A and B are shown apart, each in its own frame.
Chain A
């Protein structure tokens, strides 16, 4: 996981601060044995002389300067005055040196051994510090009851028994930003309601185990994308806990990292932690022009009341936590469902046993509630801020935001006021609560001195469509109120009081962007015809009524794929036919007469249902899922089919059956459909279709054509099964390319054989890629179904096409020797290439 900079391996220095020189020198000797023959820069600042115990800030400062080689210094300390002296030493060294010094809270001997080994390996200072900090865990787990010594007997993904009554399993983190606050929050929520003692451990780094029920501990595990993580559980629900965590991991913790900003921090050049101000960075696209308006930070009140009896202080803290919980829930409701994850993480922090436990320990020891809480928050914030991964580090801001809200409540102050400004908002950073409350009609743009493009504030500002830049540097805060500002949130630029000609230029570009957006939106509602007059329908993939409304608003020609899983997940009994009918009809209503394709329940071992326990699967994607699973519970499938029949009497409906492999499955579903429609006939307008996901269906499409009205090609699964590359597998992203000629051949085979006999639609992600649209149309596909936000762009792409030219392009793509060559052909054929 080391990320050495472009200049080569880091040379991190180490300073050992101790009261005793003998102790420090012996510890250094012990550590040196770990890395024989390797030069690590270590200096000792210990004792006042050979025999007098004490620490000396001046000597520490000199030691830091001595070992700093430009890559920074990690300082390991013993107790008491060592901390005070080291902090004082930091005030004595040069500013640039101070920025590269990390004071490590690691235990001295353990931390020094690990830091020496890590530094000798060329790791950067953040990594050395993080490894040192984790140094105590090996000892803790050896002496404690934690399961770290349990051998991992099961292969990845498969739960198995281990020592101490723990069941274990492991998974590989697929999320782009690792197991950060939001996925961690999902993990915590999943295990908390189970009667089991669950821990997780990063096998790749050896960090952990930590309790899976604590957000602060799970998020600070620092598990990055590609790390293997072990989950261990014991107790009555141990099996269920391991299964659930593995299933959650298989679907990337339900967290879609795609909504993160372009140019996220981790994509910046340079190793983690070496670029204190990489900005300004683009955080929300678009251009804003207007007067600067400062948003002063609301000072956090310090409640100076002396402590009452501990029970009283604990009560006050509990009341304040409850009040903030209500405030956060309200902010979440205001921000809407898409941004709920941001606030869910805040709610979990307010409930976090480690954090509230640390604060309660403080009040129990006689500290006032505010002081105890502030210290607990500061400790956790410091832990997060010291993490090696910049994305995870940015989450420290969430801890602070939540912490400040509670301090406000303790001081009896109202929650942070909303933002009431007109112009370009200038601030150091924004809390999510304030970011979510911005009024896009009044706030033209946002320019932050600090922050990060992946911060929750940035996500919320993007969702509001307000152009924004972050990390613009402290100089921005010196700009006077009313100074003309230009914020270019696409390029990541802030111009302070630019010449009139420049302002005019940006105003023109802003108008142009607005015009284009308006034009695309207006055009999206019209049907998409190719230049030679062929219609290609562009529908939307949706999972809820809200999605369906959004799809209708963006001009979708219908719903090409309605996922019904949300109706079935997270409840104690299956939805009734009435509930389902209501949902399906609401989607039909939202589309106002345009067709809706309803896919029957598509779950497997990766999405367990409480009322329908399923055995854990070695590989859920090659197991009992989709129609295979549905046919094991005909009662549930019949209920869903009854709801589909009822909805079909109110509007144009298609039925899609997922994960079909053989014709018998289609015939079985048709029989159940007839039973479900009874006493009447199956509605005449109801079209029956199958998802083409298994290559066997595409290769044997003739066998299916007599029994289906629709073939809906799910290119994501078709690609995974054709190329034997699991979706979202971090190491196989390049291999799992839906534009591989083998996948295209299956699409073409399906489309050409079905021509005139069944409708063929493509509903995978590839359909949303404007560059891929020509080849799909060329292969004979006339129906595409994409995310609502992609509808307008795909329609615009269709209007550029000539079906004859597309067919010729498709022929050449099928003859290509790989996905890369296909992409090259598509680039060459693009109209503006």
Chain B
């Protein structure tokens, strides 16, 4: 049976950091349209710090690794994404526990715990035009694929697709949370920056967590 190792998770994190760096300006532009224009810079600062923190000193267990990612993001992102992504990774780490490796089902359950943490932290619901709109359908798609007997790689691909679709679905929405909500109706017509970075997180997973990068 497939197992997800700390190395797989590290590859995921590195790929996420790479995608954030690549999309830094695009994220900032999106945020400038409906927020305070710092999402790209904030996330880039956070993921850069994460790379520095795990470089050469990455914890050997999956749970400990993602917790380290979480605490680093909390202290370095600065904006609301800090506690939100931080909570996501910390809950993920708690759910993964101390085991040396995790099964796909374990990882899917941990992703669900992480998303629930984000929902609780931000008190956002589906449809509020936030990262939750990308994360929730992604986790659900992943669980459904596994339940239907699909492979881990297929499940991750489904999750990435669902996240991208969820991101796109935020475009017509009117923001009800965060600084974009100050704009009211004017927030419609742009995808949500948080949902966009969350879609990057899932895209990174699809290419790495099933051993794709090795």
Contact = CB atoms under 8 A, between A and B. Distances in A.
Interface of A: 19, 48, 52-59, 79-81, 84-85, 87-88, 306-307, 365-367, 371
27 contacts: A48-B75, A48-B78, A52-B78, A54-B78, A54-B79, A55-B79, A56-B78, A57-B74, A57-B75, A57-B83, A57-B86, A58-B71, A58-B74, A79-B179, A80-B79, A80-B178, A84-B80, A84-B84, A84-B121, A85-B74, A88-B87, A88-B121, A307-B127, A365-B176, A365-B184, A366-B176, A367-B176
Interface in B116-155: 121-122, 125, 127
Contacts of B208: none
Main secondary structure of the interface of B (DSSP, over half): helix
A365 B78 CA distance: 29
B193 interface: no
Nearest to B178: A80
Contacts of B9: none
Given A55-B79, A56-B78, A88-B74, 16 more contacts: A48-B45, A48-B76, A53-B38, A54-B77, A55-B78, A56-B74, A56-B75, A57-B75, A58-B71, A79-B179, A80-B79, A81-B78, A81-B79, A87-B121, A88-B87, A88-B121
Residue of B80, B174, B184 ringed by the most chain A CB atoms within 10 A = B80
Contact of A59 (B75, B121, B125): B75
Contacts of B71: 58
Contact of B75 (A58, A307, A367): A58
A161 to B, nearest CB: 42
Contacts of A58: 71, 74-75
Contacts of A59: 75
Contacts of A88: 74, 83, 86-87, 121
Nearest to B38: A53
B74 A80 contact: no
Contacts of B63: none
A271 B122 CA distance: 34
B82 interface: yes
A306 B127 contact: yes
Contacts of B178: 80
Which residue, of B122, B125, B178, B179, has the highest number of chain A Cβ atoms within 10 A? B125
Nearest to A79: B179
Nearest to B74: A57
B127 A84 contact: no
Contacts of B42: 54
Interface in B72-119: 74-84, 86-87
A81 B77 CA distance: 10
A310 to B, nearest CB: 12
A85 B74 CA distance: 8
Contacts, number: 67
In the A-B complex, the 3 residue pairs with the smallest Cβ-Cβ separation, listed nearest first, are A54-B78, A81-B80, A84-B83
B192 to A, nearest CB: 15
Given A57-B86, A58-B71, A85-B83, A80 B179 contact: yes
Interface string B171-187: 00010101100001000
A414 B23 CA distance: 51
Contact of B78 (A53, A87, A367): A53
Nearest to A82: B80
Interface in B33-83: 38, 42, 45, 71, 74-83
B82 A57 contact: yes
Contacts of A79: 179
Given A80-B179, A88-B87, A55 B174 contact: no
Contacts of B82: 54-57, 81, 84-85
Nearest to A365: B176
Contacts of B179: 79-80
B174 A366 contact: yes
B176 A81 contact: no
A56 B76 CA distance: 7
A80 B80 contact: yes
A244 B179 CA distance: 46
B125 A371 contact: yes
Contacts of A54: 42, 77-79, 82
Contacts of A57: 74-75, 82-83, 86
A58 to B, nearest CB: 5
Nearest to A58: B75
A93 to B, nearest CB: 14
Given A57-B83, A84-B84, A88-B121, A19 B78 contact: yes
Contacts of A365: 176, 184
A171 to B, nearest CB: 41
Nearest to B81: A81
Instruction: Find the residue from B81, B83, B84, B121 having the highest chain A CB count within 10 A.
Output: B83
B70 to A, nearest CB: 10
Contacts of A52: 45, 78
A548 to B, nearest CB: 55
B46 to A, nearest CB: 10
A48 B79 CA distance: 10
A58 B82 CA distance: 11
Contacts of A80: 79-80, 178-179
A1 B83 CA distance: 38
A59 B78 CA distance: 11
Contacts of A306: 127
A57 B122 CA distance: 14
A53 B80 CA distance: 11
A56 B121 CA distance: 14
Contacts of B76: 48, 56
Contacts of B84: 84
Contacts of B75: 48, 56-59
A367 B184 CA distance: 13
A53 B78 CA distance: 7
A85 B174 CA distance: 25
Nearest to B174: A366
A553 to B, nearest CB: 54
Contacts of B74: 56-58, 85, 88
Nearest to B41: A52
